[in-house]
Structure 1
Amino acid sequence: MYNNVASQPQTLPGAPLQPANSQPNPFGNAFQVAGSGLIRGGLHAYGERIFGSSSEYVQSNISRYFSDPQYYFQVNDQYVRNKLKVVLFPFLHRGHWTRITEPVGGRLSYKPPIFDINAPDLYIPFMAFGTYVVLAGLSLGLRGKFSPEALNWLFIKGLFGWFLQTALLKVTLFSLGSGEAPLLDIIAYAGYTFTGMCLAVLGRLIWGYSYYFLMPWTCLCMGIFLVKTMKRVLFAEARSYDSSKHHYLLLFIALVQFPLFTWLGNITVNWLI
């Protein structure tokens, strides 16, 4: 006789029972894999479209108000010499004041300073600002009033004067409906103020009375330079044109240079004076 118990499947105590008619479903796994792939692909494409368009929007708006900082330092010795002549002797500049454009990537772009004398740069403003602080500290030292605190206040005074000039030009552009000029362009144009300031302070160190001639001269030259620049370069992109309003604002920019230069040229321990 045969033992029928040995032919039956053995189960351990406590083990889960499997259904007798369980069959694998290959279609369910296939549909699950295909569905998850479609969802991942769709979300990936949708995310790339959203983030791609947003990044392009951000880059376009950043480039509208800012520019590549490396652009403003593409200078050489010839450019620096010619640019100083334009800033300090603007009435001798016989060429045009408009910037040179070139097609880049299907759009018009301005040539860097090394190829265009009318392009703004940040090399001359930064060097002139540093020279102004050094000359101001030397002036205090010759009068026996030099101290690290005084030099620190002179540094702050120069930065604040640079900020005032930048704010003046920026507000003027906004009032004319052309506030989309790159901020670094405005900072560069405002920074040329210190080229004339260095000349005036240096003249005071060499011969005190020359200051009273050099200060009005540098004010006049800076006013002419800014008027020519604002009129030919920045106002060209204004959305609305009002001849009388333009002229009054240009005259205002030129007149503001006199109190600004007088304040920056007064080298004292108290930077508010």
Structure 2
Amino acid sequence: MYNQDQNYHYDQNNFHHRNTNTNQSYSQYSDNYQPEHNQQYGQPNPYPQQQGYTDYNATPFNPFQNSATAQLGVQFGQNAMDAGTKYVQQNWNRYIDIPKIKHYFNVNNKYVLNKLSLLLFPFRHKSWSRKTRHGDGTQGESYEPPREDINAPDLYIPVMAFVTYILSVGFVAGVSESFEPKILGVTASKALGVVLLEVLLLKLGCYLFSVTSDTQLLDLTSYCGYKFVGIIITMLFKAFVPENMYYLNWVIFSYTSLATGFFLLRSLRYIVLPDLSMTASNPFRKRRVNMLFGIAALQLVSCYLLWV
């Protein structure tokens, strides 16, 4: 019994001694430990910044802070742009005369309305001569722009009529429930082919009959493109006319084709017959007159190909 009590007291004293040593070690460690966030504000950071560390609070780099460098860059870019624009204009004007094309689009609302009326009702028009204006000494006589002369050819109406004709074909096909996307492409190709063929025939006729007028190729293209105005009216009329009155379609087609042929017969006279002093006995005059009537008759064929 004595030995057990003695051992018990010995173990208890030993446990108390170990616990006291542990508390002293923890107290010593806690006294020496100072958290980093307890550093006073304004004191220098004892830890140097490591290499590769990025300070995101620093002021961002601004490449335009140096005004002289910015102005030099802007000036260099402007010079490069001006040089490129000048180069493109020089090479573009080598093949296409932009000022001359602008002349054919110099129209206004009054001209467009009067021109459309002339295309549909050309039989009552009296004067078909084009107006000219005198130069300033360095340039000779030139024709007035379309907005100043109703008899002047333009490209605004032919281009708009060409696009409207393609859309009209698609509209008529949609009304008849037979529309397909390829119809628009086929129609555009066919219409463009007909116009180019007529222009080539006109140029060939002028060459064979020695027509030496200073007519531009764009003039002939304009005259050949006026036919789309009458064809559009014929196609829209066909879309709304009942099937039992189909003969009215042929009446409208015949009238618009004859009106287009008569318009070209009178408008192309200043091109095919520029010399009014030619007598009736001159063989070239007779051939050129026949050429004019051939061009007018050709409108019936070309309008029919574009109508059906």
Structure-1-length-normalised TM-score: 0.69
Give the 3 Å change call, closer, same or farther, for CA 191–67 of structure 1 in structure 2: farther
Counterpart Cα distance in 2 of 1:260 and 1:156:
14
Q: Is residue 2:225 matched to residue 1:191?
A: yes
- Report matched runs for 1:76-87 at 5 Å: 76-87=108-119
Counterpart Cα distance in 2 of 1:192 and 1:259:
15
Secondary structure of 1:170 counterpart: helix
Higher relative contact order (CA 8 A, sep 6+): 1
Give the 3 Å change call, closer, same or farther, for CA 233–72 of structure 1 in structure 2: same
Deviation at 1:165, TM superposition (A): 2.2
Gaps spanning 5+ residues in structure 1: where? 1-54, 267-273
Give the 3 Å change call, closer, same or farther, for CA 69–237 of structure 1 in structure 2: farther
User: Which AA in structure 2 matches 1:245?
Assistant: R
Secondary structure of 1:203 counterpart: helix
Contact 1:98 1:232 in 2 (8 A): yes
Secondary structure of 1:107 counterpart: coil
* Identical-residue share of aligned pairs (%): 33
Aligned residue pairs, count: 206
Structure 2 residue corresponding to 1:220, chosen from 251, 254, 258: 258
User: Which AA in structure 1 matches 2:131?
Assistant: I
Q: Is residue 2:158 matched to residue 1:125?
A: yes
Counterpart Cα distance in 2 of 1:182 and 1:128:
21
Give the 3 Å change call, closer, same or farther, for CA 98–203 of structure 1 in structure 2: same
Give the 3 Å change call, closer, same or farther, for CA 127–239 of structure 1 in structure 2: farther
Q: Counterpart of 1:12?
A: none
Q: Counterpart of 2:59?
A: none
Structure 2 residue corresponding to 1:200, chosen from 228, 234, 240: 234
Deviation at 1:234, TM superposition (A): 4.6
Gaps spanning 5+ residues in structure 2: where? 1-89
Higher alpha-carbon deviation: 257-266 or 227-236: 227-236
For residues 143-163 of structure 1, give each alpha carbon's deviation from its aligned partner in whole angstroms, at most 9, with x where no partner exists. Answer: 222111121111111111211
Q: Is residue 2:214 matched to residue 1:176?
A: no
Counterpart Cα distance in 1 of 2:139 and 2:183:
52
For residues 68-97 of structure 1, give each alpha carbon's deviation from its aligned partner in whole angstroms, at most 9, with x where no partner exists. Answer: 000011111110111112111111112x21
Q: Counterpart of 1:254?
A: 296
Structure 1 segments (4+ residues) deviating >4 Å = 237-241
Contact 1:177 1:238 in 2 (8 A): no
Q: Give me the CA root mean square deviation.
A: 2.7
Q: Looking at CA atoms only, which structure, 1 or 2, has the larger radius of gyration?
A: 2
Give the 3 Å change call, closer, same or farther, for CA 174–237 of structure 1 in structure 2: farther
Secondary structure of 2:268 counterpart: helix
Q: Counterpart of 1:158?
A: 191
Deviation at 1:67, TM superposition (A): 7.2
Counterpart Cα distance in 1 of 2:198 and 2:124:
24
Structure-2-length-normalised TM-score: 0.61
Give the 3 Å change call, closer, same or farther, for CA 88–172 of structure 1 in structure 2: farther
